[in-house]
Amino acid sequence: MPSPRPRSRAALPALIAVLIAAIAAGGWAWSRHATSDRVSIALAGDFGASDRTASVLQGMRAAGVDATFAVGDLSYGVTGEESSWCSFVTRHLGPDIPFELLSGNHESNDVNGSIDAFARCLPNRLDGLVGTYGREYYLDLPRDKPVVRLVMISPQLTFPEGTWSYAVGSPRAAWTTAAISSARAAGLWTVVGMHIPCLNAGTRSCEVGADVLNLLVAAGADLVVSGHEHTYQRTFPLAQGADCPTLVPGTYNRRCVASTSETSRQGSGTTFVTVGTGGADLYAVKTDDPEGPYFAAISGRNLRPTWGFLALDIATDRLSARFVPTAGDGFTDAFTVTRGT
């Protein structure tokens, strides 16, 4: 698989200082007060409550984002002590930035807390939510004049009532397709969050099933963000076509890769990013994984180990993404999707 593109190896504290200075100087047009045609969002998964977790939350605050989204696996703590973790988040992120939740497998079935309890102490704070907060919902941001729809889904998570299926023909697959399709029809960018990824150059296979992978590509999602695999991994934009009718997990088909550039055009393909770097111990990545050639950038325990978050700056004509490191080796990544002729 291709090696991650060369990145600066400057000391991490100096790198963070540069990033924060760039934000303060307007190098990134991010503000906690979203304008009518722009919004900034931070996403990560697999947190815990370590010093590394605190650095991620503090980095999100320093970036001045409008909202943050957790893509599952929150405290790794004890059921019944969810409020302590919520207080930890608020202490390091601050009280003003929404911290929106999506369940992971550690809290869907009360293994390390309950998503319902977490949702009570870190409730939805954004207007216009459609669906069930913490499990399956979407939001259009900014509320007054949206530019993006965040669609949160829970394939293959086991809740007390059973395991949620997004197989072809299922009601949840239909809901997801409709949420993405209606957003595209309205001219919105579409960012999907789901805890468990399909493609990855790590330790796991496609636990959610190929149906979910191909549904998201066929529906035309611009970006899919996951956690679960405690690594950072970004694919090239992937698309279906005559030479790639479906993506098959565990294999590589170069005809499914729409572009190998760090700048792509909306509609050319779907980019999948795993951001399981919220503070929990990292996993190793496999540089010889069969799916490896799909990936543009990777980082894990054995390759530039770095914790941080994915920051999105979304405007009508552009979706810009950057992995912001807050602890570890200082790995970074960035890509852009543009709209227009």
**Span 202-234, pLDDT tens digits:** 989 999 999 999 999 999 999 999 999 999 999
For residue 232, which amino acid is it? Y
Distance CA 231, CA 208 (A): 18
* CATH number (domain holding residue 49): 3.60.21.10
87 is a domain residue: no
20 is a domain residue: yes
247 is a domain residue: yes
In the chain, % of residues over pLDDT 90: 88
107 is a domain residue: no
Number of other CB atoms surrounding residue 251 within 10 Å: 10
How many residues are recorded in the chain? Answer: 341
Q: What was the pLDDT predicted at 12?
A: 52
Q: What was the pLDDT predicted at 16?
A: 47
> Domain span at residue 148?
12-70+124-338
137 is a domain residue: yes
Q: What was the pLDDT predicted at 211?
A: 98
Q: Which of 259, 261, 238, 66 is nearest to 148 (CA)?
A: 66
Q: What was the pLDDT predicted at 148?
A: 99
Number of compact structural domains in the chain: 1
79 is a domain residue: no
Assess whether pLDDT exceeds 90 at residue 21. no
Angle at the Cα of 222 from the Cα atoms of 219 and 226, rounded to 5 degrees: 95
Q: What was the pLDDT predicted at 2?
A: 45
Q: Binning pLDDT at 50, 70 and 90, where does residue 23 land?
A: very low
105 is a domain residue: no
Q: What was the pLDDT predicted at 4?
A: 46
Assess whether pLDDT exceeds 90 at residue 115. yes
CA terminus-to-terminus distance, the chain: 32
pLDDT in tens, 131-183: 999 999 999 999 999 999 999 999 999 999 999 999 999 999 999 999 999 99
Distance CA 260, CA 296 (A): 8
Q: Binning pLDDT at 50, 70 and 90, where does residue 340 land?
A: confident
Angle at the Cα of 234 from the Cα atoms of 38 and 291, rounded to 5 degrees: 150
**pLDDT (average), residues 122-130:** 98
User: Residue 295 has which token pair?
Assistant: 């990936």
Q: What was the pLDDT predicted at 311?
A: 99
96 is a domain residue: no
